[in-house]
Every structure is written in structure tokens, then in C-alpha cells.
Amino acid sequence: MANGERLEVRPDGLEQLNQVTAYACRDEVALILIDSPPVNALGGDVRRGLLEGFTRAANDPAARAVVLACAGRTFIAGADIREFDHPDLDAPGLHAVLDVIEACPKPTVAAIHGTALGGGLETALCCHYRVASPSAQVGLPEVALGLLPGAGGTQRVPRIVEAEAALAMMAFGKPVPAARAEAMGLLDALIEENLLDGAIRFARGKAHEGSAPVRVRDRTEGLALPHDAQLFARFRRDNARAFKGYTAPEAIVRAVEAAVTLPFEQGMQREAQLYGELIAGRQSAAMRYLFFAERQCTRIPDLPRDTPPRPIAHVGVVGAGTMGSGIAMTFLDAGLPVVLVEREEEALARGLAAIRSNYEASRDKGRIDQATLEQRMDRLTTSLDMADLAEVDLVIEAVFENMALKQEVFAKIDAIARPGAILASNTSFLDLDAIAAVTARAPDVIGLHFFSPANVMRLLEVVRGAKTGPDVVASAMALARRIRKVAVLARVCDGFIANRMMTPRMDAARALILEGPMPWEVDAAMRDYGFAMGPFAMLDLVGLDVIGWDAATSSSSTITEVLCERGRWGQKRRAGFYDYDDKRRATPSPQVETLVREFQQTSGIAMQPFSHEEIVERLLLPVVNEGARLLEEGIALRASDIDVALVTGYGWPAYTGGPMFWADDHGLPRIVAALEAMGETPCALLSRLASEGSALHEFAPGKIPSNA
Ligand code: CAA
Ligand code: NAI
């Protein structure tokens, strides 16, 4: 929870309406209280209680005003997402409940703490007033679930908030802090003191004012504000890249357009129609799946949830290169002090400068202020002496990807670090167990595999070695949450989950260009699918020389090798698979086209045209096959963990749900047949699940990996 504030409510005379809702009326104000952990979502019982509570308050002669509040960590955090696929049809629908709330003839006040999200905020918008703790946040995050706010949010918000701000709030789904929400007109007051007392006083005040309360649907402040006629066209154009492929943002734009042009009831019909289309679609199914998949990742079958993590208050990072400096920033951002250790003074200075300039860029973009920048830099110390790691609770090694070097560094850390410290490696491919073996404390050694740029990418692969202690795994999972990463547990193998999954895509891409398509056609098909970048553009970005070309030994038998030989190393040379101009804009290279044609002619493979769909299958089905192997080998705990890793670590389009969801959606028999048709052998698990009519997600969910 953003603020950790809890609302403890025990007013006298509180009467349970059902298990999760209660009612009280004191000093002219009726209180309807929801207490449905963990987040007071609008499940069937909450809806029943709301209906009964508001009906009772409306008819209660002792009540002149009504307050709606929630106990525990937050106000209503939205619809109960679990119910989307298993609706409680016996309970009243949300719209029916909101109609009753909105029709209450007495002033109604929502008292908001924590996060009022989605249907939670929409419920609050059916009250006449909204008051909140200063630490509260309000938002309409449905877009992240492939949906739009379907309980009147798209119509009510623009009535009280300026259209563009309303649009941005819904299309990006980012929660708005209370102070800003008040300035926008979403909140009527911030309550510094006890929220419930303040809300009750506010409600009583409104009752005493005596004037009839106005429903949000009847208000026009937002609509009255001028907005430029081109707003919607401009909003679409400006955000075309961010929204590409996603259906929900466009539906939101249309719904808000309806709000500012149509009468309320017609706007509501439009919202309902658009919502209906989204909820029935595969994108929303995929994104709802990912919501729970992300939370599922933290469940480790052989690790009790209450395994106490080791305290981590001070972190050491070894190596101030690309990854080391990004990793250091991740911890500084989360408020943890870091000591960054290098062996070369120059590299240390470079790393330090990179960190500072990164923070300065954030400041210049208005993301952080100068004081925050200085605080973060103050938490950082640098050193050329490993002895300075003696006091830290966690050391993360990020030196070159070289086993001998990593072993040397770990032996040194082992000699220096305090007993109980966690020793982590950021290795991408190397055998963690061989690294752990040089220390006298293998149970304390773990892999913490960050993705570049480490301070931005959300994925953290937690690599569990053969001897890693359970409490060290628990500590890493808890730490990930503190540094706002999504932790996915992997066992030791070459490439762990995400890198190993993406290798077959690259191999397939390189093989495919021998059969007809040009690199840019392959990239275009991948962009169509939803990736920001295709594999060849990615190679150019990383550097063709970096991916294993050695001038002395290379045979020039592949297209990549020939390109390296010709100095076409990628973007840094302004030439790779593409030609680049001074602004690094790519155009297909005629020279590469000739080269690819030469290779095609000597390959002996019959050339054929490929549609984008065929290209996608050729590149992505081998990835699915690799995912099934990861499950088979026990490297990944579950199919959904693999999807989370690729969506958060490799920009796999969230609206497809990731490769495993995509494969299940297509049906495994089809996947197996297509793999066979392209000459790939489906792994045994994939074939078995297909023949059993099962799915990757049904495979031993939560099974303990076999190399435990
Ligand atoms: N429905 C059902 N369960 C939910 C839920 C929801 N809306 N929101 C959270 N939960 C569950 C989580 O699955 C998790 O359960 P487990 O502990 O069993 O894993 C638990 O609540 C706590 O969630 P987090 O771990 O995410 O806790 P947090 O403190 O980090 O974050 C939160 C809390 C900010 C509320 C975050 O959970 C969140 O963003 N939830 C989703 C909010 C949302 O999308 N609301 C809109 C729903 S759609 C809607 O409302 C449609 C409509 O128009 C009616
Ligand atoms: P880099 O080359 O940018 O940085 C490595 C740094 O380690 C250099 O500054 C070097 O001076 C320093 N170093 C070398 N030996 C040292 C020692 N004995 N003591 C202290 N510092 C020492 O490398 P990069 O890209 O940051 O990679 C580091 C590790 O992270 C590698 O294991 C790599 O596989 C992994 N990784 C890299 C990713 C990437 O995208 N670059 C992504 C994820 C992991």
C-alpha cells in the first residue's frame, strides 16, 4: 500500500449488515463501513451490504447525512477482479448498487484513505462528496486490465474534471495523489485529523447547510471548462506509440468524447457498449491473467509465506559498469544506502557520473526535485577497496561476465563480508553453483539478475542455486518488493528464464532470413505483434560484435559474421543490419539486402514469401517450446511466471498475456502441429499436454523444481 495507513474503526453501536459490511447511526450521521480484507474489493457481499446500508440510511429518520468508509488498509480498491470470470450472479450488480447510492436524498460522503481505485473511485463518485486523507490516492487503473472504467467513471469524471486531465487519468491509469485530486476537483476536502471523525463532521455540516445535494451526474464544472476542439485527435496522435496494439485506450478516448458531447444517459450507454466489447475480448483476459500472475510469482511452494527475511539495510555493489550503476540506483531510489566498489578508478568515476547524469535527466524532466537528487547521491559511497563491503547486508556482484573473474571476486567477498550477509551475482548466463562453490557459504549465495537499464526494467530474476538457503530466497523476494521489482524465481541453467526464452527467437530470425524475408520484414512482423523492436534492430542496438564475434577465429560463415568483418557492428558504427543517420534513424541497407540475397542463393533452401503471421509463428513458436522445456526441467515454477518474466523483462506485449498464455489460447494441438510443420521437435511435455487436451497453465502449478 502506498502509505501504510490503516483505518481502525470501532464506533459504538456498529451493527453488522453481513460479514463484510456494518451500519451505525450516531449524532445524525449514518456510517456504512466496509471491512473486507485485503483491499475491500467490490465482491458480491460488499455490494449486498452497500445496497442494504444505503437503503437503510435513506430511510433512517435519525440519519441526516451518510458517510461511506472502509476499515483496514484502504478504501475500495476496485471491482473484485477474481469475480470477472466467476461472477456472483445472486448478488446485486454494481450498477444497481450505484444507482441506489446516487439516489440517496441525504448528503453522502465517501471517506477515502489508501487507494480508491477503479470501481472504488466510481462508487465514491456516486456519493455527493469525497473527502480523503492527505496520503490517499485515487485512480482509474482499468486500462491496465485492458478495460475502461465501466461503472460510470468515464462519464462522471469529465463532469467535474477538465476533459484532458480526465482522459489522461483513465488512458494511463496512474493513481493521482490526494492533493492533486483535490486541485482537479475530484476531492472536496483533505482531512488532516482522524479521517472518520473529519468525514462525519463534514457530512453533518452539509446536512446543516440544508441545500439539496447535487449528484456528480448533474454537475457541469468539468464540461464548462474550455477544451480545444482538437483535444481527442491530438491525444490519439500524441500517444499513438504508447497505445499501439492496445484496444482499451481508444475505447476510453471514445467514452470520454461521449461524455463531453452526449447527455449523461446516452454517454452511459456508450460506456456500457465499449466496456462490453473490452471485457469480452482476449486482451482484457490476458491482462487480468497477468495481474494475478504477477502476484502469484511470490508464492513458492516449499517456502512458507511467513519465512522471515533477513534484514537488509545497507547494500554493496561490485562493478560500476552499465549494470552496477543501474543496480546501485535501484537501491538508492528505494532509500537504501549503497557502497559501490570498483577495481579501476576511471570506471568508478564513469559509473558515478552516469548515476548523477541519470538523476539530473530525471530532475530536468520534472520526475524528481533537486533535494531528492541530492538525497539519493548522499546515500551513495564509492570505493576501490573491497574491504568496504565488510558491513553490508547484501553484496551484488556485477563485474564482467567471466567465470574466473566472478569466482575470484566471490572468494574475496566471502573473506570480507560479515556472517549472514547475502552474496548475490548479477550473472546473465554463468553457473551460479560454480560461483557459490568458491565460497564457504553457498547457502548465502543467490542470483539477482537485473535487466538493463536496471533502474527502469521491472523484472528481477531471483536465481536459486542448488544450495541457496530458503530464508535467502525469501529475503530476495521481499527485497524485490521494496525496490519495486517483480521477482520471478528461476533455477540455475544457461540464461535462466528470460534470456533463455528469447534465444530461440533470435535463432529463428537468423534462420528465417535465409528463406526469403529480409531482416526489416522480420522486424516489421515482430513490431506488428507488439514488440517495440524487432530482433535485427535489437542486434544493431546491442552491437553485432558483442554477441560473440571474434575477428581472429570467426569463419565469416554467417551473415552476422560478414557484417562484423565489414565493420557493420550496429548503431555505434551507424551501420549494421540497417543504415543509421546521425539521429540514429534506421533505414534498410541495400548492402545488407545484397548480402542476404547471396546467402539465400547459396543456402539451397527454396525461397518463399512469408506473411507477417507466418513470420510471427516461425519466431515465437520455438519460444513456446523453450518455455515448455523450462517447466519440464523445473527451471521455472509455473507457466505464468515465464509470461511475467517476458512481459516485464523483454517487452513482450502485455495484451497477448505472454508466450505461454498465447500458446494456451491458440490451443496446444495447433502449436504442436505448427512446430512439427516447421521442422522443430516439440518437447515431450508440450506433446503430452497437447495430447491430453491440457494446457501449459495446468501443468503442476506450483510444482517444486526437480533440481532442488
Ligand atoms: N480484486 C481482487 N483482489 C485484489 C484486487 C481486486 N481489485 N486488488 C488487489 N487484490 C488482491 C491481490 O490479488 C492480493 O492478493 P494476495 O495477497 O492473495 O496475492 C491482495 O489483494 C493485495 O494486493 P497487492 O499485493 O497488489 O497489494 P498492494 O498493497 O501492493 O497494492 C493495490 C494494493 C494498490 C490495491 C493493488 O492491489 C491494485 O492495484 N489492485 C488493483 C486495483 C484495480 O485494478 N482496480 C480496478 C479493478 S477493475 C474495476 O474496478 C472495474 C470496474 O469498472 C468496476
Ligand atoms: P560492464 O562491462 O559495463 O561493467 C563491468 C564493470 O566491472 C567494469 O566497470 C569493470 O571495471 C568492473 N570490474 C571488473 N572486475 C572487477 C573487480 N574485480 N572488482 C570490481 N569491479 C570490477 O558490464 P555490465 O554490462 O554492467 O555487466 C556486468 C554483469 O551484469 C555481467 O555479469 C553481465 O552478464 C550482467 N548483465 C548484463 C546485462 C546487460 O544488459 N549489460 C543485463 C543483465 C546482466
pLDDT by residue (tens digit) across 207-230? 999 888 999 999 998 888 877 789
Nearest-CA neighbor of 154 among 224, 262, 222, 256? 256
Q: Which CATH architecture has domain 531-603?
A: Orthogonal Bundle (1.10)
318 CA distance to ligand 2 middle (Å): 8
pLDDT in tens, 648-685: 999 999 999 999 999 999 999 999 999 999 999 999 99
The Cα-based distances of 187 to 150, 182, 193, 611, 677 in angstroms read: 20, 4, 16, 52, 59
Q: How many CB atoms lie within 10 A of CB 149?
A: 30
pLDDT in tens, 27-63: 999 999 999 999 999 999 999 999 999 999 999 999 9
When pLDDT is cut at 50, 70 and 90, the band that residue 82 belongs to is confident
Confidence (pLDDT) at 44: 96
Q: Phi/psi of residue 21, each to 5°? A: -135, 150
- Do residues 417 and 392 touch, judged by C-beta distance below 8 A? yes
556: alpha, beta or left? (left if phi > 0; alpha if psi -120 to 50)? left
Confidence (pLDDT) at 9: 67
Does the beta carbon of 542 lie inside 6 Å of ligand 2?
A: no
For residue 323, the SS3 value is helix
Above 90 in pLDDT, residue 389?
yes
Above 80 in pLDDT, residue 5?
no
| Secondary structure letter of residue 636 according to DSSP | B
- Do residues 28 and 201 touch, judged by C-beta distance below 8 A? no
439: alpha, beta or left? (left if phi > 0; alpha if psi -120 to 50)? beta
For residue 117, the SS3 value is strand
- Do residues 310 and 654 touch, judged by C-beta distance below 8 A? no
Q: Report which ligand 2 atom has the smallest distance to the Cα of 452.
A: 40
631 CA distance to ligand 1 middle (Å): 28
How many helices (H) and strands (E) in the chain? Answer: 29, 20
When pLDDT is cut at 50, 70 and 90, the band that residue 1 belongs to is very low
Q: Which part of the chain is CATH 3.90.226.10?
A: 15-269
When pLDDT is cut at 50, 70 and 90, the band that residue 605 belongs to is confident
Distance, in Å, from the CA atom of 36 to the CA atom of 40, rounded to the nearest integer, reads: 4
Q: Which part of the chain is CATH 3.40.50.720?
A: 315-492
**Triad 139, 145, 146: Cα angle to 5°:** 110
Q: Is 566 exposed, middle or buried (0-12, 13-18, 19+ CB in 10 A)?
A: middle
The Cα-based distances of 87 to 52, 248, 369, 593 in angstroms read: 20, 22, 45, 55
Distance, in Å, from the CA atom of 435 to the CA atom of 448, rounded to the nearest integer, reads: 13
Nearest-CA neighbor of 447 among 470, 471, 421, 473? 473
The sign of the dihedral angle between the CA atoms of 50, 53, 55, 58 is negative
- Do residues 96 and 44 touch, judged by C-beta distance below 8 A? no
Q: Ligand 2: which residue has its CA nearest to atom 39? A: 452
Q: Which helix (H) or strand (E) holds 22?
A: strand 21-26
Partners of residue 116 on adjacent β-strands: 138
Q: Find how far residue 682's CA is from the centre of its chain.
A: 30
For residue 190, the SS3 value is strand
What percent of the chain clears pLDDT 70, i.e. is strictly above it? 98
For residue 105, the SS3 value is coil
Confidence (pLDDT) at 704: 39
Confidence (pLDDT) at 490: 98
Q: Phi/psi of residue 122, each to 5°? A: -65, -35
Confidence (pLDDT) at 225: 82
Above 70 in pLDDT, residue 10?
no
- Do residues 153 and 125 touch, judged by C-beta distance below 8 A? yes
Above 50 in pLDDT, residue 482?
yes
For the domain spanning 281-308+497-512+610-708, the CATH number is 1.10.1040.50
Confidence (pLDDT) at 7: 74
pLDDT in tens, 324-361: 999 999 999 999 999 999 999 999 999 999 999 999 99
Does the beta carbon of 139 lie inside 6 Å of ligand 1?
A: no
Q: Ligand 1: which residue has its CA nearest to atom 20? A: 38
552, amino acid identity: A
The Cα-based distances of 6 to 43, 71, 111, 192 in angstroms read: 21, 7, 13, 14
When pLDDT is cut at 50, 70 and 90, the band that residue 83 belongs to is confident
The upper half-sphere exposure of residue 431, i.e. CA atoms within 13 Å in the direction of its Cβ, equals 6
For the domain spanning 315-492, the CATH number is 3.40.50.720
Confidence (pLDDT) at 315: 98
Instruction: Give the three cell numbers for residue 5.
Output: 495507513
Q: Find how far residue 36's CA is from the centre of its chain.
A: 25
Confidence (pLDDT) at 3: 54
The Cα-based distances of 527 to 283, 535, 625 in angstroms read: 17, 10, 21
Instruction: Give the three cell numbers for residue 59.
Output: 430511510
Q: Report which ligand 1 atom has the smallest distance to the Cα of 292.
A: 13
When pLDDT is cut at 50, 70 and 90, the band that residue 2 belongs to is very low
Q: Ligand 2: which residue has its CA nearest to atom 29? A: 398
Length reported for the chain: 708
pLDDT in tens, 515-545: 999 999 999 999 999 999 999 999 999 899 8
- Helix boundaries (H) for 513-607: 519-529, 535-542, 559-565, 590-603
Confidence (pLDDT) at 550: 74
Q: Report which ligand 1 atom has the smallest distance to the Cα of 79.
A: 50
Confidence (pLDDT) at 706: 37
- Greater confidence (246 vs 707) lies with 246
Distance, in Å, from the CA atom of 195 to the CA atom of 399, rounded to the nearest integer, reads: 51
Above 60 in pLDDT, residue 702?
no
Above 70 in pLDDT, residue 26?
yes
Mean pLDDT over each residue of the chain, to the nearest integer: 94
Return the best residue to mutate from 6, 36, 39, 80 for the ligand 1 pocket (most ligand atoms within 8 A of CB): 39
Q: Report how far apart the first and last C-alpha atoms of the chain are (Å, whole number).
A: 33
Return the best residue to mutate from 413, 427, 428 for the ligand 2 pocket (most ligand atoms within 8 A of CB): 428
Distance, in Å, from the CA atom of 334 to the CA atom of 322, rounded to the nearest integer, reads: 19
Above 90 in pLDDT, residue 547?
no
The upper half-sphere exposure of residue 675, i.e. CA atoms within 13 Å in the direction of its Cβ, equals 25
The Cα-based distances of 538 to 215, 501, 502, 527, 576 in angstroms read: 53, 15, 12, 12, 10
Q: Find how far residue 677's CA is from the centre of its chain.
A: 35
Q: Which part of the chain is CATH 1.10.1040.50?
A: 281-308+497-512+610-708
pLDDT in tens, 239-298: 999 999 999 999 999 999 999 999 999 999 999 999 999 999 999 999 999 999 999 999
pLDDT in tens, 149-208: 999 999 999 999 999 999 999 999 999 999 999 999 999 999 999 999 999 999 999 999
The upper half-sphere exposure of residue 599, i.e. CA atoms within 13 Å in the direction of its Cβ, equals 24
Distance, in Å, from the CA atom of 234 to the CA atom of 244, rounded to the nearest integer, reads: 15
- Do residues 340 and 320 touch, judged by C-beta distance below 8 A? yes
Structural Rg of the chain based on CA atoms: 28
Distance, in Å, from the CA atom of 272 to the CA atom of 151, rounded to the nearest integer, reads: 8
Above 70 in pLDDT, residue 703?
no
> Which residues are marked as active site?
122, 142
Please tell me the number of the ligand nearest to residue 126's CA: 1
- Do residues 161 and 219 touch, judged by C-beta distance below 8 A? no
Q: Which helix (H) or strand (E) holds 506?
A: helix 498-512
Q: How many CB atoms lie within 10 A of CB 633?
A: 15
Distance, in Å, from the CA atom of 422 to the CA atom of 309, rounded to the nearest integer, reads: 11
Please tell me the number of the ligand nearest to residue 451's CA: 2
Asked if the interface predicted TM-score (ipTM) of this complex is over 0.85, the answer is yes
Does the beta carbon of 397 lie inside 6 Å of ligand 2?
A: no
Distance, in Å, from the CA atom of 399 to the CA atom of 220, rounded to the nearest integer, reads: 60
- Do residues 515 and 610 touch, judged by C-beta distance below 8 A? yes
Confidence (pLDDT) at 171: 98
**Triad 319, 320, 323: Cα angle to 5°:** 90
355 CA distance to ligand 2 middle (Å): 15
Partners of residue 570 on adjacent β-strands: 575
What percent of the chain clears pLDDT 90, i.e. is strictly above it? 90
Return the best residue to mutate from 317, 318, 323 for the ligand 2 pocket (most ligand atoms within 8 A of CB): 323
Distance, in Å, from the CA atom of 83 to the CA atom of 24, rounded to the nearest integer, reads: 28
Q: Which part of the chain is CATH 1.10.1040.10?
A: 531-603
For residue 138, the SS3 value is strand
CB-based burial, 527-540: b 16+ in 10 Å, e otherwise: bebbbeebbbbbbb
Q: Report which ligand 2 atom has the smallest distance to the Cα of 412.
A: 18
Confidence (pLDDT) at 11: 63
Report field, pTM of the whole predicted structure over 0.90? yes
Topology of the domain comprising 15-269:
2-enoyl-CoA Hydratase; Chain A, domain 1 (3.90.226)
Q: Phi/psi of residue 695, each to 5°? A: -135, 160
